[in-house]
Structures are given as C-alpha cells and as structure tokens.
Structure 1
Amino acid sequence: MLSTLTALICLQLCWSQRINTEKQNLLKPIIWAQPTTRVTKGTPVSIWCQGPQSASEYQLYFRGNILALKRPESRRSRSKVNFFIPQMTLHTAGEYTCFYQSGELQSEPSDPLVLVVTGLYDIPKLQVHPGHEVTLGENVTFFCHLVAGTSKFFLLKEGRSNHVQQRYGNSQAKFPMGPMTRAHRGTYRCFGSYSDYTWSFPSEPVTLLIPGVGNTSFAPTDPTSSLDYRVFDSTAEESGLQEDSVFWDHTTQNLIRIGLACVVLMALVWLLAEDWLNRKKAQEGINESATWEGRRRRWRVQRSLEEEQRDAISLREVKAAPGPGTI
C-alpha cells in the first residue's frame, strides 16, 4: 500500500508540473498601427496591443528596449491598450513589439511591427517602359530615379496589395515586371530610402492599363494610407483572439480532466494489480504449506510402518530363539 501511495503522489506531481508548463505558454498578443505603418513625418500614429481578458499590463518595446508600460483603462477595454505617438520622426521609426502580463506570467512577444517615416527626402520620379498601356504577356520595367541620390528604392502597388519590391542603387533602380497578367493592373509609386525605416516622399503615381481588359478606376490615393502591409479589422481580430483564448481555456480544462481521469484509472489498475499479486502470493503460500504438511504426514506414516515392521521382526526373532534349558 505504501508503494501505491508513492506511485500516486509521483503521478500527481508529474501531471501538475505538466499543467503548469501548459499554462505558462500564453498566447502572443496582436500589434498593429492606425492609420497605417507608413507615416508622414510629423503625423501622429497609434500603436495598439491586444491580448486576452486576463491581461493586466502591457509593455511596448522599441528596437529591443522597453519603451512604455500601460494598464487597460477599464475592464471593458481590458484586452487592448493604445500607445500614442504624437509625431512621427526619425527617432520613432523602427521595429516595435509588445508583451502582456497575466498574473505572474509574461506572454511571448508579438509579431514585429515596422513603422516607416516618409517625407524625408526629395520626390523621386517613376517611369515605366515601354509605356503604361501594356498587353497580356508583355514584360515592362519600372525606373525609379532620385536626383539627390540614395541607397535603396521601394516600388509599391496602391490598394490592399502586400507586394513590396526593393532594389539597391545610387540614384536609380530598375524593377522588371512580367509577363503581364490582369493582377498587374493598378497604380504604382516608388520611394527612395537610406534605411528600411526612413523613406522619401512618394513619387507621382503611374497606372498600368491593359487595353481590351475591363480596367476599373485607378484613381490615385494617399500612398501612406492605402499602401499598408495589411488592413486591420479590430472587431474581427478581437473576436478571433477571444475565440483563441476560449479555445485554449477549453483545451486546457479538457487536458486537465483527461489527465485526472488517467491518474485515477492508473491508480485503480495499480491497486487491482497489487491486490491480485497479494492474493496470488497468499494462495502460493497456502499451497506450499499444504504440500509440506502432506509430505510430513506421509513421512510419519512411513516411519510408523517401518517401526511396526521392525517390532514384528523383533517379535518373531524372540519367539524363534530357544528358551533356557533347551538342548
């Protein structure tokens, strides 16, 4: 019974350690910028960090160093906080990540958020050859030129496209593209840059058209707002994160229930096995005792028979012997 209790205690401790390890794997938060990740110099921007309802504090890191701490203002908005940057400058451009605190545990870092400041240099000039009207299957080349000179160029397509091309060059860069498909239609701009975080003013827009293919309206838009890496739907993201949190909670609870059931089942199997072994040992002891007793009885009977035989032989010898005075 002592060994059974020891085994149960070990199983319980191991399972508790596993549950604690699972609880420490907190979901990473979501980070995004409003209105965009490419911000004109001097323009304000907000960085949002969102976690589960259990989050009590959020930490914002900039280029690997902690920048700000913030607690949710109310329980209703407990799942997210806003870090406001009043003016975008060279010193606020870069990579941001955020964490949240839940109890004594800290989450994993969010995916990196890169804020780019634009409007620092001259306006580059964008051209396309052989022309802005192309045919399906044709190849074209964009040329982005900056008189002041730079080290990098970026070509972006306006709208909700995530495609950003990068080329190196002193004053000009080439962006070959093709063969042309319907997906290439649209309005393009380019930027000059000395780093990934500091860009020039955007070029004038250049629109690719494919004659004979239904071209929708490609009215130029503000490139710093429409050329975002992603469009964030706060409601969808929040509900998705809450669903993930609920799913994680249910999964953890189910794992705990399954684990406890396994512990109880193993304990029952252990007790039944130990009881069966004890019964088997007791039965073997009884059988061994019975065997030994049978041997003792046979030995006693055999010994009694031998003694009776010796007594009979002695009696016959006495009778056969001549008495006194016999000649």
Structure 2
Amino acid sequence: MSGTVVAPGDNVKLHCFSRIKFEAFILTKEDAPRFTQRQSTTSQDNGQQTTFHMDRVTSTQAGTYRCFGAFDTNPEVWSHPSDPLQLEVRGSAGWSVALVNQVRLSLAGLVLLALVVVLAEACYSHKRSFHGLR
C-alpha cells in the first residue's frame, strides 16, 4: 500500500514479505534513525514474512516506514528497502487543535465577561457613593 490513515489509539500491523529467504526483517521509520525494530521471519507462500505490531498508535508514530531484509550470519548488512508505507494518524480520538482552540476561546470569553461584571459593579458603587456624598 502507498499509504493508510488510522485513528489515534488504533492498533496497527505492518507486514513485511519477501521471496528471498531472509532470516530477519528490520522496520525503520524515516526521519527517526533510532526507530528500528528487528524480528525473525516465518515461511509463507514461497517466501519469508513477519508482522510488526504497533499498539495504540499516536501522532508521533505517523510517518514513512520501510522494511529491510537481513541474514543472521551478517546482521549489519541489509537488503534494499521495501516500497515506502505512509502512515497517517488522525481522527476523533484525543484533543484536536480545533477543540483546544474552542476551549481556549470559551475560557477567554468567560474571563472577559467576569471583567465586565467587575467593572460595572465598580462603576455602580462609585456612582452610588458619589450621590451619597451630596
């Protein structure tokens, strides 16, 4: 697949498959050199495969992923990369930016209303005390 969209909190499975009998697959994420998962493979349909599980994904896991194959005898040598998979994490789970902004605007409106009430009360009190002095 060229890309997929999931909601925050979803569980995602990324499958790697090759006709070459690799002993391990490595999953990498572009722009995140420390994100590397390595798993052994199982035989499937005249090739090797593995499944990488990502439980309860968040927006930080969005990005471009690729699989590489490797052999146990020379684990630092990897195959050419797979085609990229673009994972997008978006949806209704969690706080969206629009909702956060709406909450901020509502709170700002309440603060403004409180200030208007305090100002009106101060003006009324000042007017009453001014008339009381006469």
Is TM-score (shorter-chain normalized) higher than 0.5? Answer: yes
Q: CA RMSD in A?
A: 2.2
TM-superposed deviation, 1:160 = 3.2
Q: Tell me which residue corresponds to 2:9.
A: 137
TM-score, with structure 2 as normaliser: 0.58
Q: Which amino acid aligns with 1:160?
A: A
TM-score, with structure 1 as normaliser: 0.25
What aligned pairs does 1:2-13 form with structure 2 within 5 A after superposition? none
Q: Tell me which residue corresponds to 1:164.
A: 36
Q: In the aligned structure 1, how far is the partner of 2:31 from the partner of 2:81? A: 15
Q: Which amino acid aligns with 1:134?
A: V
What aligned pairs does 1:165-314 form with structure 2 within 5 A after superposition? 165-170=37-42, 171-194=48-71, 195-212=74-91
SS across alignment from 1:133: strand
Unaligned runs of 5+ in 2: 43-47, 98-134
Residues 20-48 of structure 1 deviation map (CA, whole Å, 9 limit, x = unaligned)? xxxxxxxxxxxxxxxxxxxxxxxxxxxxx
% identical equivalent positions: 34
More strand per residue: 2
Residues 216-262 of structure 1 deviation map (CA, whole Å, 9 limit, x = unaligned)? xxxxxxxxxxxxxxxxxxxxxxxxxxxxxxxxxxxxxxxxxxxxxxx
SS across alignment from 1:162: strand
Change (3 A) 1:169 1:182: same
SS across alignment from 1:183: helix
TM-superposed deviation, 1:161 = 3.8
Is residue 147 from structure 1 mapped to residue 19 from structure 2 by the alignment?
Answer: yes
4+ long deviations beyond 6 Å: none
Which of the two has higher C-alpha Rg?
Answer: 1
Higher relative contact order (CA 8 A, sep 6+): 2
Unaligned runs of 5+ in 1: 1-126, 215-327
Residues 183-206 of structure 1 deviation map (CA, whole Å, 9 limit, x = unaligned)? 110000010111312211100100
Q: Tell me which residue corresponds to 1:70.
A: none
Q: In the aligned structure 1, how far is the partner of 2:33 from the partner of 2:5? A: 21
TM-superposed deviation, 1:180 = 0.9
Change (3 A) 1:160 1:169: closer
